[in-house]
Amino acid sequence: MYRLMWLTRVLCCGFLTCLPALAAEKYGQGVTDNQILIGQTAPYSGPASAYGSCGRANDAYFRMVNDQGGVNGRKLKLISLDDGYDPAKAIEHTRRLVEQDGVLLVFGTVGAPALSVLPYLHAMKVPFLFPTSAHAKFHMPNRYPYTMGWVPTFGFEGKMFARYILKHRRDAKIAVLWEYDDIGIEELAAFKEELGAKAKSMIVSEQSYQVTDPSINSQLIAMRNSGADTLVSLTTPKFEMMTIQRVYEMNWRPLHLITYASHSVGTTLKPVGLEKAKGLVTAYFGLDATNPELASHPEVMEFHEWRRKYLPDADPGDACLPYSYMQSALLVQVLKQCGDDLTRENLMRQARSMRNVRLPMLLPGISIDTSESDYRPIETMHYLKFDGKSWVPTGESMREGGP
């Protein structure tokens, strides 16, 4: 009897000793009872420093969440390092975030550096969620199961531009300016594919540039001299500002379509003069926080309250702010769905299990849906036209993969 009691006590003690370990198994690297550690690199310096406000906005959103009690009682800590828009530096910093700082996931890396860190994060099986880039590689669950983008691809945007031209200017003479990198190549190829057989006759000038180029004046002159009446700019903000300014100075007035990556009223259009940007066309999925007609919209009001409190020195017209506000809200949604199972495996499981999620500042009719086979949270964009003050929906939209 005594031996039975002793054995029972030993087994019970052993079981109780194992309980903390069992609970700990629900925590991945970078997670404690009180904190979730998130890693990121962003261009706070360098040729794409305009996108540095994305990282600052991400941090500001997480500070707001922390002030409200965190996510399931845990505070969010974002370690955001300056990569200078240099892919090599992004890889170096990302390795540090994973191997030294011990983050649970990497989130929101901006632009070309996001592509550079993808192979490493894939090899390490580290969740790479919602990079600030629209490359198709971020939407390939079979190839990169631990990576999920969140915005429609550059290819889809290129198709939207072609579709708009074919509908509104069927006999267009098109000039295309594009950044010579993987992103530009993807978007240009999709643009030509959507034009189909007409691409050869419609595109009369095709000019590229490097992100380190000091000027694109010669490219713009060549496009103007080609006789083009339609200009498609697949550029980052610095070069879009140059384009708008020079096109205006040359008294060239083409139908001008620009990528939403450069559509910020505050940081791209306003510095060169809003009157010079009137008539521009883009495609996007979010509300324009600068539109005076939306001033009383509840979501826009909440956004501006957040901005004033957590980013008081930021430009109210910087489109990176609402973009990152939505992006951060999406990550918080996934973390909430994880509950207390904050392993990397469950993080990805929840990321691909979103159903009809509505993010603040999305345009009406757009919601977030993902699945095991579909890593595209947002699949619809609306055409917008700049009226000299703000971006106004034209009433036309397109769904990725749709007719």
In the chain, the domains with their CATH numbers are 35-152+296-372 (3.40.50.2300), 154-284+384-399 (3.40.50.2300)
Per-residue pLDDT band for 402 (boundaries 50, 70, 90) equals low
Per-residue pLDDT band for 1 (boundaries 50, 70, 90) equals very low
Burial class (CB in 10 A: 0-12, 13-18, 19+), 150: buried
Q: What is the mean pLDDT of residues 45-60?
A: 94
- Alpha helices (H) along 137-259: 154-168, 182-195, 199-202, 217-225, 237-249
Per-chain mean pLDDT for the chain: 92
Q: What is the mean pLDDT of residues 161-171?
A: 97
Cα–Cα distance, 219 to 206 (Å, whole number): 9
Of 48-52, 81-85, 186-190, 328-332, the range with the lowest mean pLDDT is: 48-52
Query: Percent of the chain at pLDDT above 70?
Result: 93
Pairing relationship of beta strands 174-179 and 147-148 according to DSSP bridges? unpaired
| Sign of the Cα pseudo-torsion (189, 191, 194, 198, in order) | negative
**Nearest to residue 285, comparing CAs of 374, 195, 157, 131?**
157
> Per-residue pLDDT for 305 more than 50?
yes
The two structure tokens encoding residue 148: 């999920």
> Per-residue pLDDT for 11 more than 70?
no
Q: What is the mean pLDDT of residues 63-70?
A: 98
Per-residue pLDDT band for 22 (boundaries 50, 70, 90) equals very low
- Higher confidence at residue 261 or residue 100? 100
Per-residue pLDDT band for 13 (boundaries 50, 70, 90) equals very low
> Per-residue pLDDT for 294 more than 60?
yes
- Higher confidence at residue 16 or residue 265? 265
Q: What is the mean pLDDT of residues 116-121?
A: 97
Cα–Cα distance, 119 to 346 (Å, whole number): 21
Q: What are phi and psi of 103, to 5 degrees?
A: -75, 155
**What confidence tens digit (pLDDT) does each residue in 201-236 have?**
999 999 999 988 999 999 999 999 999 999 999 998
Q: What is the mean pLDDT of residues 44-55?
A: 93
Cα–Cα distance, 317 to 383 (Å, whole number): 19
What pLDDT sits at residue 5? 41
Q: What is the mean pLDDT of residues 49-74?
A: 97
**What confidence tens digit (pLDDT) does each residue in 266-283 have?**
989 999 999 999 999 999
3-class DSSP assignment, residue 107: strand
What pLDDT sits at residue 288? 92
Three-state SS across 201-230?
Answer: HHEEEEEEECCCCCCCHHHHHHHHHCCCCE
Cα–Cα distance, 191 to 164 (Å, whole number): 11
CB neighbour list of residue 75: distance below 8 Å, 6 or more residues apart: 34, 35, 36, 66
What pLDDT sits at residue 403? 59
Q: What's the count of helices (H) and strands (E) in the chain, helices before strands?
A: 14, 12
**Nearest to residue 106, comparing CAs of 37, 185, 3, 31?**
37
Q: What is the mean pLDDT of residues 294-318?
A: 96
Query: Percent of the chain at pLDDT above 90?
Result: 87
What pLDDT sits at residue 308? 98
> Per-residue pLDDT for 28 more than 70?
yes
- Say if CB 52 and CB 313 are below 8 A apart: no
Cα–Cα distance, 28 to 328 (Å, whole number): 20
What pLDDT sits at residue 57? 98
Q: What is the mean pLDDT of residues 157-173?
A: 97
- Higher confidence at residue 402 or residue 325? 325
| Sign of the Cα pseudo-torsion (326, 374, 88, 208, in order) | negative
Q: Which residues pair with 38 in a beta bridge?
A: 78, 105
